[in-house]
Structure 1
Amino acid sequence: MIEEKEALETIISTTPAPVSCEISTDKAYNLHLLNNVKASDTSPKRDQSSMDGFGIKVCGNNLLKYDIIGEIFAGELFRREIGEGEAVRLFTGANIPIGVNAVIMQEECEISEGKLILREIPDEGQFIRKRGEIFCEGQTIAKKGKKVSASTMAALISAGILKVSVPEKLRVSVISTGDEIQPIDKGSLEDFQIYNSNAYMIKSALNGLGIDEVSISHVADEEELIVTALKRSLEKNDILITSGGISVGKKDLIKRSLLKCGVEEKFWRVRIKPSKPIFYGIYGNHCQVYGLPGNPVSSYVGFLLFVLPAINLRNGVAQDKSGLSSVKMKLSAELVNNENRVNYMMGEVNERQELQIHGKQTSNNILGLSNSNVLVRVEPLTKLESGEIIDALIMP
């Protein structure tokens, strides 16, 4: 058995680097960039009007009346130079013609007998967007590790970046074991049977991390069948996750079967609660293998603590951002950990924005897990007082 810190360090150090692929920028939503990306264009390309109004040439002559000689819409190029005493109608985003050095909002002037009449002399440069004020060619638009949001995508495309390098999509297999496990389309169950809920919990968590290619399967508690299923998945996938059969019971056959398949064991069992009997290993130089416990709380906590960081790294997330995010919260009641190992407790934020811990912290309490949105890490042999400010880990 190893400590949590050593387990996570082992996973991080053996996680393969992202495999780069180039895709169209419009397909990169929610993916992480593998390189700094620089603009191949300038924005705006020319000086532009930021308002609907009139462009004039301010010459210091206190002129208040101007001849209107034309109009310019966004996307049009006006080739004539504007001289003293002349004005041109401009619409938002229109290019500023040569000679214009100020724009007057249409609400701040009036037109009489074809002439533009000003109420006051405008400031030079007002309501003009200067060329390159948003970004210039060669400027960094997004840094390595940046997640492409909708607005980031718009910035990239605006900067003329039409292709980006992102990680290749990961392929993941989830295998559940246990004779009691039944498919969700079976209908009614016997008293000794349960649905394969863990597989869909893990699959949904993987989908939330941007992994679409997830295969789900179930194998009965027979070693030959388990080995066959594992071999098939190990060859085809980047990550293999098993659920159940990883402890020390008579039918806990996963660890032995993984070793038979050639998986190199990195650790088995971590000094935490829940998810103590977790297994981690490597197959070849590409496939990370996780054996998660069968109880749903243990399975999900193990996934969040040990699988999620590795997936994030392989998806191009920076190491310091690869784990769960935390938030400062005030405890609504005391927490006590009398055990000689770290305890992760499920909780949720109540209506007073206080952290409320669920009373039944058992590894099979799927309803408590469903009602939780945070995990609280409590050190061994530790008591946290009511009202104390602590770091709570946000559950996705």
Structure 2
Amino acid sequence: MVTVKEALGLIANCLPAFKVQNIRLEKAHGLYLAEDVTADRDFPPYHRVAMDGIAINMAAYKKGLHQFPVEGMVRAGQKPQALVSSDACLEVMTGAMLPAGTSIVIPYEQVTITNGSATIAENYDASEMMNVHQKGSDVKEGSVILKRGTKISAPEIGALASVGKHAPLVFAPSRIAVISTGDELVEIDNAHPEDFQIRKSNPYAIKALIESFGPFPVDLFHINDQQDVMMREIKTILEKYEIVLLSGGVSAGKFDFVPTVLRDLKVEEIFHKIKQRPGKPLWFGRGPVGQLVFGLPGNPISALFSCRRYVITALGWLISGGQFKGVFEGQKVVAEATYQPANGATGRTVCQSTVGEASDVSPEGLSRSGKRREGLSFFRPCLIKQGMASFYTTNGSGDLLSLCGSDGFIELPPDHEIKAGEEIVLFSWRAKQ
């Protein structure tokens, strides 16, 4: 049996090489860049008119001219224009290229135009290049605008489009299969399950949890507790998916065939059972061609806690190219009350939430194996209200309804008293915004 830190280290050692792909920009939201992106030209690429008005030569204004004949109009998207007379002006629209021979834009609010002549308001305080967004003032050509490992959201989509990256290189999300097991499970549209049957909630909850952290392709399957059927169907799934999650069938029951079937399919067992509660029976292995295989416990709370703590962590490493962005990490919270491990983590302890990421889930922490400790790590669901985080106990690992409305869970380390003011870690059910 391994500790939580040892399990994370073993999973990290099994992670496959990062895969990259070019993907159409409209499909890139939520993915991570696999390359630095540079500006293909200055931004803005020309002296851009920043307000509707007239463009004049500043030297003429300094000579005392306040009335300028209008030579024409320049709009956005029009080819470069030039002022013919330095004592005249051109009307210009926002976004247009500043005409050659002009060096300032006077907004319409400060101008009166009558009979083809523009008069500037008295005592207008003008200066060179006023109301002009100057070429290269944002970014110079060749400058890195987005770094490798950056998560692509709306602003990044806009930036990529502006530099012509119609198919950016990204870290490819792994194909994921979620398999529920058990003869007692029936479809969720079964209106009248028998007393001995339950609707299969785990695969839907696991799929939703994974998809809340990124655009991962997740497919759902169900296999009954028949060893030959399980062998055949898991073999087919392993041939098509890079990450396989099984829910149930990993404990010590006589119909818990998952570990045996996986071993027969040449899936190498890396560890089975973790010093944690809930979720002790967790199984993890590596397939014949490097597939990651997680055997999650069948109890709903155990399955969700284990998926969030281990599967989401691994996905965060893979999809960010090792950058391990904060979206997958735990959030620091500070305990306001003292936690005594001897009491089995019962009762309610209040924690003050703080800004920042948890240090023990950094890439370095992920790849190191911690020293073995006696005792169990406890995972407890958590609520956050008015900046305060409180965690509580549930009515066992099958009490799925107790998680409704919770914000995530807190990991309480084994054999360690958490003192008031000490940092602990909250693992959210959803990606932080």
Counterpart selection for 1:79 from 78, 81, 92: 81
**Which stretch of structure 1 is more off in the superposition, 82-91 or 355-364?**
355-364
Partner of 2:372: none
Q: CA contact under 8 A between 2:181 and 2:222: conserved in structure 1?
A: yes
Q: Helix, strand or coil: the match of 2:58?
A: coil
Partners of 1:297 and 1:83 in 2: how far apart? 78
Q: Helix, strand or coil: the match of 2:23?
A: strand
Q: CA contact under 8 A between 2:376 and 2:413: conserved in structure 1?
A: yes
1:115 and 2:149 aligned: no
Partner of 1:357: 391
1:179 and 2:183 aligned: yes
Amino acid at match of 1:41: R
Q: CA contact under 8 A between 1:57 and 1:102: conserved in structure 2?
A: yes
Counterpart selection for 1:61 from 60, 63, 82: 63
Q: Deviations over 1:198-236 (max 9, x none)?
A: 011112223334455322222222222221221111111
Amino acid at match of 2:25: T
Counterpart selection for 2:232 from 228, 232, 239: 228
- Give the number of equivalent residue pairs: 395
Normalised TM-score (structure 2): 0.85
Q: Helix, strand or coil: the match of 2:113?
A: strand
**Residues 378 and 325 (structure 1), Cα distance of their counterparts in 2 relative to 1, 3 Å cut:** same
Counterpart selection for 1:106 from 105, 108, 120: 108
Partners of 1:161 and 1:211 in 2: how far apart? 20
Partner of 1:285: 289
1:70 and 2:72 aligned: yes
Aligned-pair identity in percent equals 29
Partners of 2:327 and 2:6 in 1: how far apart? 15
1:343 and 2:378 aligned: yes
Partner of 1:96: 98
Partners of 2:157 and 2:17 in 1: how far apart? 24
Q: Helix, strand or coil: the match of 2:292?
A: strand
Partner of 1:312: 316
Q: CA contact under 8 A between 1:55 and 1:88: conserved in structure 2?
A: yes
Q: Helix, strand or coil: the match of 2:31?
A: coil
Q: CA contact under 8 A between 1:273 and 1:343: conserved in structure 2?
A: yes
**Residues 328 and 211 (structure 1), Cα distance of their counterparts in 2 relative to 1, 3 Å cut:** closer
**Residues 133 and 187 (structure 1), Cα distance of their counterparts in 2 relative to 1, 3 Å cut:** same
**Residues 6 and 136 (structure 1), Cα distance of their counterparts in 2 relative to 1, 3 Å cut:** same
1:389: how far off? 6.2
Partner of 1:215: 219
**Residues 324 and 31 (structure 1), Cα distance of their counterparts in 2 relative to 1, 3 Å cut:** closer
Amino acid at match of 1:316: S
Amino acid at match of 2:183: D
Gaps (5+ residues) in structure 1? none
Counterpart selection for 1:374 from 408, 411, 419: 408
Alignment of 1:258-273 (within 5 A): 258-273=262-277
Superposed CA RMSD: 2.2
Amino acid at match of 2:74: I
1:251: how far off? 1.9
Normalised TM-score (structure 1): 0.93
1:40 and 2:40 aligned: yes
Counterpart selection for 2:260 from 241, 256, 259: 256
Q: Helix, strand or coil: the match of 1:41?
A: coil
1:390: how far off? 4.4
1:142 and 2:146 aligned: yes
1:334: how far off? 5.4
